[in-house]
Structure 1
Amino acid sequence: MATVFQNTGRIVSDRQIYLNELALADMAEPLGFESIWSVEHHFTDYTMCPDVVQFLSYMAGRTRNLKLGSMVVVLPWHDPMRVAEQISMLDQLSGGRMILGLGRGAGKVEFDGFRLDMGDSRELFVEYGEALLKGLESGVMEYAGKHYRQPATAIRPAPFKSFRGRTYAAAVSPESARIMAKLGVGLLIIPQKPWREVEKELREYNTLYREINGTNAPQPISAGWVFVDESEERARDMAMRYIGGYYRTVLDHYQFAGAHMKNQRGYEYYAKMNEKLAVYGDQKAIEFFADLQVYGTPEQVHGKILEIHRQTGNSGFVGVFSYAGMPHEEAARNVRLFARTVMPELQKFDAGAPIDRATPLPDHRFGHRFAIAAE
């Protein structure tokens, strides 16, 4: 499960949001979840977790076996040497429980706040990612690139366990997926585009990964916004209200409809989203996103998660249960019902078994054929 610390509309204080989300996070291990995740964002109500490694370090001390996932550390906003130290330290504190997720970011408000040019983000991500991943394997950070130059310097405490096979990166654009294959990392999938498009890009990524690395790519991890209720009608209503409400915050935070996205260097894929938003409007985009997520009765939620696996071959599913101003009591009920009714069935499932893709999913399950995405 993931906690994202949203304060939509500022109905309550930031302090109360933290109390609520930390209470949910404390439920993860007792309820039987295998991992806890959070995200990195800055400066707005969208997600108030500016340091995901700090949050995971806190959770490392409050848990015994729970794995700790970053979804994601946005590399262009950090000094890679400091990131390497933080990651190695968390892995030491937790006994090797970290799952490392990386990304390059797409929020203009965040790049502006850090006084960075968004146009450099792809090159920064590649250089920082190469330096970081090599450093975590060798214990020494050393790199000579266009943007990043680091003389050979030891990471202390030294990494004691390889991050290969437990490093993932968020990739929305096809260009980013190719970068991840070259870096040798798995993919973290956030459902935001038609599943057949995701499936096509995964095939291309898997082929390129094998060509470059000589081995099969790690199974991806998929995340999704979850609302489960015994009533199908209430689940649908609440999903449109809260999952739809979450996507409104995405549009506000990332400014996908903004003029800057039309010609932003390194974000050419997002210019297409800008055009589609102009054609379809916000409401269609919101409905499309909500229908890609996981909501319904326990049986429907279970089925949708297995459908996602059939499309992506993912090894795990990360659920977000509290978002868009959802009352804390509702979020806690959402988590508990999922843990009691859906999770036991999912944990019986072998995610590594061969996948039957013979029967295509009907198009109407996944809304209109346009993609609006965040990275």
Structure 2
Amino acid sequence: MRVGLHLGYQNMHGQPDVKTFMQETQFAVEAEAMGFDFVGPVEHHFTDYAACPDPFQMLAWVAAKTEKIELITAAVILPWNNPLRVAEQFIELDILSGGRVIAGMGRGAARREFRSFGVELGDSREVFDEAALIVMQGIETGIVEANGKWFQIPHTEIRPRPFKSFKDRTVMVSMSPSSVEVAADYGLKTLRFSQGDWRKAIPEINHYRDVFQEKHAKPAPPFIISDFMLCFEDKKRVSEYCDKYFARMFETVANHYEFMGEHFKSLPSYATYAYMGERAEAAGGADKAYRDYIGGNMIGTPEELVEHHLERASMVGDYEMLCNFSFGGLPYELVYEQAKLFADKVMPRLKG
């Protein structure tokens, strides 16, 4: 089992952005010594929720300070970026890192970010589907050419040229039925965020595997689960930090994506987000959604995390893990403490 480090770049500490940004980036470098297999940031803009607007720049800095850890864009949001430029950036980063890039792509879900980039949230499905094919063609062949609804690009050669195939190291965030269809059709590994009871996701996961097998005549690769993590030996500390920091993080997630908003109900491609809002309403508010959110992520003592993993694996099958230890203003001394404990006591058992 492969285990990675996911960096959210939340600034809930009340500190200057430059300090929190560099703490998080340095954490990515130290992940290699801790034994993580891959590391990468999300792309987000404009708020304290997550502030890493350019994953490529950040990962190029990490590549120069590490030797073997793989580098994932988890994910670059295609509707906010020109796909030809994205293909160029993937290839350049792959060269700089000696072929360590995992090309992760997503389509975003927050209206505030789409609005500032002048893109309609309702168009994201079509834009992503078209852009992803352009990027995949570019990083594999070094040639981009497109004449679609959203992008018209003349025959263009990318320089520097790719030196290594990206097959089996291209990933797509898949959080809806339409997304898993696209991922399976395109032959991509999927990345899912823990957002509640994993039993609810099993039909989508199985459908992805079935369609992938049908389309490509081979089993689907293990998908990636991104978890928020709390890992401490003392259960009282786990409970205390969960109540204080995880609750704060959940509030920022709900506000950033507007889970309770009505707009998701008219967008079938965002079914997961609409479901979360409906579930919260049915339960009489956000508390039920919050408790489900806690249950879906990895929170507990080292022994409890191993048990949680085994239980989840029995439901969803083989998967890889992407761990986010830094959120909600959790002090950095605690971020490092729990990451080190996880690396020492949990990760060897997951890999074993």
Same fold (TM over 0.5): yes
| Alpha-carbon offset, residue 201 of structure 1 | 1.1
Matching of residue 277 in structure 1 with residue 280 in structure 2: yes
Report what 2:305 is aligned to.
301
Which range moved further: 107-116 or 275-284?
275-284
Matched residues in 2 for 1:122 and 1:82: separation? 19
Report what 2:216 is aligned to.
213
Matching of residue 3 in structure 1 with residue 7 in structure 2: yes
- SS of match in other structure, 2:7: coil
- From the superposition, tell whether residues 128 and 287 of structure 1 become closer, same or farther in structure 2 (CA, over 3 Å): same
Matching of residue 12 in structure 1 with residue 15 in structure 2: yes
- From the superposition, tell whether residues 177 and 13 of structure 1 become closer, same or farther in structure 2 (CA, over 3 Å): same
Matched residues in 2 for 1:259 and 1:252: separation? 13
| Alpha-carbon offset, residue 146 of structure 1 | 1.1
Matched residues in 1 for 2:63 and 2:317: separation? 29
**Cα RMSD after superposing both structures:** 1.6
Which range moved further: 72-81 or 295-304?
295-304
Matched residues in 1 for 2:156 and 2:180: separation? 30
Which range moved further: 127-136 or 102-111?
127-136
Report what 1:112 is aligned to.
115
Which range moved further: 16-25 or 215-224?
16-25
- From the superposition, tell whether residues 222 and 272 of structure 1 become closer, same or farther in structure 2 (CA, over 3 Å): closer
Equivalences for 1:71-150 in 2 at 5 Å?
71-150=74-153
Matching of residue 347 in structure 1 with residue 328 in structure 2: no
Report what 1:50 is aligned to.
53
8 Å Cα contact 1:3/1:37 also seen in 2 = yes
Tell me the alpha carbon deviations over residues 161-198 of structure 1, each in whole angstroms, 9 at most, x when there is no partner. 11111111111111111111111101112111321222
8 Å Cα contact 2:105/2:173 also seen in 1 = yes
| Alpha-carbon offset, residue 209 of structure 1 | 1.1
| Alpha-carbon offset, residue 119 of structure 1 | 1.1
Matched residues in 1 for 2:331 and 2:53: separation? 23
Matched residues in 2 for 1:223 and 1:311: separation? 16
- The letter of the residue matching 1:332 is Y
**Of 265, 282, 286, which aligns to 1:262?**
265
Matching of residue 289 in structure 1 with residue 298 in structure 2: no
Number of residue pairs aligned between Structure 1 and Structure 2: 347
- From the superposition, tell whether residues 223 and 272 of structure 1 become closer, same or farther in structure 2 (CA, over 3 Å): closer
Matched residues in 1 for 2:345 and 2:278: separation? 41
| Alpha-carbon offset, residue 252 of structure 1 | 0.8
Which range moved further: 254-263 or 243-252?
254-263
- The letter of the residue matching 1:150 is I
8 Å Cα contact 2:177/2:271 also seen in 1 = no
TM-score, normalized by length of structure 1?
Answer: 0.88
Tell me the alpha carbon deviations over residues 194-250 of structure 1, each in whole angstroms, 9 at most, x when there is no partner. 212222211111111122222221111112111111112321332233223211111
Report what 1:371 is aligned to.
none
**Of 331, 336, 341, which aligns to 1:332?**
336
Identity %: 37
Matched residues in 1 for 2:268 and 2:171: separation? 24
Matching of residue 36 in structure 1 with residue 32 in structure 2: no
| Alpha-carbon offset, residue 268 of structure 1 | 4.9
- SS of match in other structure, 1:267: helix
Which range moved further: 74-83 or 11-20?
11-20
| Alpha-carbon offset, residue 269 of structure 1 | 5.0
Report what 1:356 is aligned to.
none
| Alpha-carbon offset, residue 38 of structure 1 | 0.9
**Of 65, 69, 74, which aligns to 2:72?**
69
Matching of residue 22 in structure 1 with residue 25 in structure 2: yes
**Of 192, 195, 201, which aligns to 1:192?**
195
Which range moved further: 91-100 or 186-195?
186-195
8 Å Cα contact 1:242/1:325 also seen in 2 = yes
- From the superposition, tell whether residues 315 and 268 of structure 1 become closer, same or farther in structure 2 (CA, over 3 Å): closer
* Unmatched runs of 5 consecutive residues or more in structure 2: none
Matched residues in 1 for 2:76 and 2:65: separation? 21
| Alpha-carbon offset, residue 264 of structure 1 | 4.1
- From the superposition, tell whether residues 306 and 56 of structure 1 become closer, same or farther in structure 2 (CA, over 3 Å): farther
- From the superposition, tell whether residues 262 and 197 of structure 1 become closer, same or farther in structure 2 (CA, over 3 Å): closer
Matched residues in 2 for 1:223 and 1:347: separation? 16
8 Å Cα contact 1:298/1:342 also seen in 2 = yes
- SS of match in other structure, 1:189: strand
